[in-house]
A and B are shown apart, each in its own frame.
Chain A
């Protein structure tokens, strides 16, 4: 087991290295950052001064090493626009994003998991077809458009809920539904297929042969094992929702990380954009590592195959 963990950690470090390399190279390949920082039409002397000030006149490998050194120290650079460290801005907004993502996760689990179980237990029934239709619509309706339509119906026409902004629970409903919608559909699909797989396995047949009531077979024996991949996906989704809810946060003026990224784009605030993207990758690599290790703890087959 320690060997397995060491190997996984090493893989994650390599992944993070390539991730940071990618971001570093793209920022420098696609244009001179000094041009982005300077006013349009700046004189060459000014550009040279900016390059020296931000260390952009040094060779790339040197720049990369200092970039990584800063990242390791938790410094993601300074935002041009806010004149604040990017990490400070990021952690200011993290709470809001987490709140929204948790609400969306709750909604997606409450819809996706029960519907998936019912679809699997009553396969090819009317319920199953309904579930399939919901899943298909969930994957086809763009979340941000759903958000716009929800605003139109519940905020503009019915005036039940506020259109945007953060505040009490009523501000949370519409963005959480728009964000959780897609994930509800993917959870439904996964729960259904995972449940079907477990229901077809030998030990379920044995449980049925033993004469256990159907409720015990499904509720106790099948449910437990079928839910392992479902909860993994839920955890990974949560992290994705924290970092990738850009369009939903923009529509609902939700002061989270996605909106921070959007502001970064519009103000050409490239340290901010770079920092947010790096943090997103970092969090996902971390959650993947945790999932891998947890899986190996639960299931010895995984750690023995390598």
Chain B
């Protein structure tokens, strides 16, 4: 029996081995990050069911600036207090999650697709296309991203969809540069050369051979920029050029809380900030994990 033991391990049916590997992988996942992100998604999707009050209307019978329930003068009706219009802070935080998540995901999606497309075109086609795209990338990267975003937002006016497009336009350049570098080396690889010799069109080579090979990098970059995009949205909303009131966005809540800071109404400032912090922290942790998992070469990014 003892002699068969070592072989027994390798002789496990593939299903079991696959299962074991799956369990191993699940163990490596940053649990805290996944829990925070899962909670955020649930809260954002089911905001209507979870929020105790309407986020844009004052709670009937509630005081203005009511503190959280555990402090003197607080009530369980509005567990995290009320703001300067008597609106429920908890409900606004819950609906704010939706805005943050939507802007973070969609903004990253716009930036990622635009940047990946431009990077592939630039790297694969080369020549003057490459020159034009790369010089444009240089020029746009030279503007500090927040200043550029503020500039665009001032020009087109505040709305959530405008912000998504603006953040996409501001952040695509980072993808373009990295993806171009990858494509430059992919272009010289044998499988690409062979496809070209076999008569595949440029579009086909890009679709079948280039794109699948750069998607990992795009994913890693996306997971690392989503937090940046969320903070940028909060900053724009804070400055009054982002999501317009009365929509409940975390940055906007911080902006509305500013005049009350001197009066010590801390809950209006602390809670939205903690929400932003948790979400960005979770995306950072998740992004770091994904980077090591998918692309060890990007570790120093």
Q: Taking beta carbons and an 8 Å cutoff, which residues of A are in contact with B? A: 11, 14-19, 22-23, 26-27, 30-31, 136-137, 139-142, 144-145, 148-149, 151-152, 156-157, 163, 193, 240, 243-244, 246-247, 250-251, 261-262, 264-266, 268, 270, 273-274, 276-277, 280-281, 284-285, 288
- Answer yes or no: B249 CB below 8 A from chain A CBs: no
Would you give the shortest CB distance from A194 to chain B, in whole angstroms? 9
B181-225 CB contacts (< 8 Å) to partner A: none
Q: Which 3 A-B pairs have the closest CB atoms?
A: A244-B144, A18-B139, A145-B273
In the complex formed, the residue of B with least CB distance to A148 is: B269
A218 and B281 alpha carbons, distance in the complex (Å): 32
- B139–chain A nearest beta-carbon distance, Å: 4
Does the CB pair B155–A11 fall under 8 Å?
no
Closest-by-CB residue of B relative to A135 is B284
Residue of A nearest to B132 (CB): A18
- Of the listed residues B144, B258, B280, the one surrounded by the most CB atoms of chain A closer than 10 A to its CB is B144
B164 in contact (CB, < 8 A): no
Once A152-B266, A247-B238 are accepted as A-B contacts, the answer to whether A142 and B277 lie under 8 Å apart by CB is: yes
Nearest chain A residue, comparing its CB with the CB of B272: A145
Is B66 on the interface with A (CB-CB < 8 A)? no
Are A261 and B269 in touch, CB under 8 angstroms? no
Inter-chain CA distance A265–B236, complex, in Å, is 11
B160 at the interface (CB under 8 A from A): no
Taken together as a complex, chains A and B put the C-alpha atoms of A175 and B136 apart, in Å, by 34
**Residues of chain B lying within 8 A (CB to CB) of residue A22:** 139-140
Count of B residues near A, CB < 8 Å? 43
11 pairs, CB–CB < 8 Å, chain A vs chain B: A15-B139, A139-B227, A142-B235, A145-B273, A156-B261, A163-B262, A240-B144, A247-B239, A262-B239, A277-B143, A284-B142
If the complex has contacts A244-B147, A273-B151, A280-B147, are A144 and B238 also in contact, measured as CB distance less than 8 A? yes
Residues of B within 8 A of A284 (CB): 142-144
Distance between Cα atoms of A92 and B182 in the complex (Å): 45
CB nearest neighbor in A for B141: A284
B276 to A: closest C-beta gap in Å:
6
Q: Bound state CA distance, A271 and B207, in angstroms? A: 44
8 more A-B residue pairs beyond the given contacts A11-B135, A148-B269, with a C-beta to C-beta distance below 8 A: A17-B139, A18-B135, A142-B280, A144-B254, A148-B261, A265-B240, A273-B151, A276-B147
Residues of chain B within 8 A (CB-CB) of A157 are 264
Residues of B within 8 A of A (CB): 135-136, 138-140, 142-148, 150-152, 154-156, 227, 231, 234-235, 238-241, 254, 257-258, 261-262, 264, 266, 269-270, 273, 276-277, 280-281, 284-285, 300
Given known pairs A140-B281, A142-B273, A142-B280, the reply for A23 and B239 (CB within 8 Å) is no
B231 touches A246 (CB 8 A): no
Chain A residues with CB under 8 A of B266: 152
A273 surroundings in chain B (CB, below 8 A): 150-151, 154
Q: In whole Å, how far is B214's beta carbon from the nearest beta carbon of chain A?
A: 23
Contact assessment for B262 and A156 in the assembled complex, using a CB-CB cutoff below 8 Å: yes
Q: Which residue of B lies closest to A268 (CB)?
A: B154
Residue of A nearest to B280 (CB): A140
A288, B239: Cβ atoms closer than 8 Å:
no
In the complex formed, the residue of B with least CB distance to A285 is B142
Q: Which residues of A contact B238 (CB under 8 A)?
A: 144, 247
> Chain A contacts of B143 at CB under 8 A?
19, 277, 280-281, 284
Closest to B270 in A: A149
Cα-based distance from A273 to B239 in the complex (angstroms) = 14
State the Cβ distance, A37 to closest chain B Cβ, in Å.
14
Instruction: Check B144 against A139 for contact (C-beta < 8 Å).
Output: no
User: Please, which residues of chain B bring their CB within 8 A of the CB of A156?
Assistant: 261-262, 264
Given the known A-B contacts A140-B227, A142-B276, A273-B154, are A246 and B239 also in contact in the complex, defined by CB atoms under 8 Å?
yes
A73 to chain B, nearest CB (A): 21
A265 to B300, CA, bound (A): 37
Partner of A243, one of B147, B154, B273, B281: B147
Chain B nearest Cβ from A136, distance in angstroms: 6
Q: Is the CB of B139 within 8 A of A244?
A: no
Which of chain B's residues has its CB closest to A145's CB? B273
Given contacts A148-B273, A152-B261, A281-B142, contact A261 B155 (CB under 8 A): no
Query: B188 CB to closest chain A CB, in angstroms?
Result: 17
Q: How far is the CA of A49 from the CA of B179 in the complex (A)?
A: 49
Smallest beta-carbon distance B259→chain A, Å: 12
List of B residues within 8 angstroms of A141 by Cβ:
277, 280
A152 to B274, CA, bound (A): 15
A276 to B138, CA, bound (A): 19
Chain B residue at smallest Cβ distance from A257: B147
Pick from A145, A266, A280: contact of B254, CB below 8 A.
Answer: A145
Q: Specify the chain A residue showing the minimal Cβ separation from B235.
A: A247
Q: Does A277 contact B235, Cβ atoms closer than 8 Å?
A: no
Query: Residue on A with the closest CB to B136?
Result: A18
Known: A11-B138, A246-B150, A285-B142. Contact between A30 and B284, CB under 8 A?
no
A145 lies within 8 A of B277 (CB): yes
Distance between Cα atoms of A9 and B109 in the complex (Å)? 35
Asked if B269 and A139 sit within 8 Å, CB to CB, the answer is no
Separation of A183 and B138 alpha carbons in the complex (Å): 22
B239 contact set on A, CB distance < 8 A? 246-247, 250, 262, 265
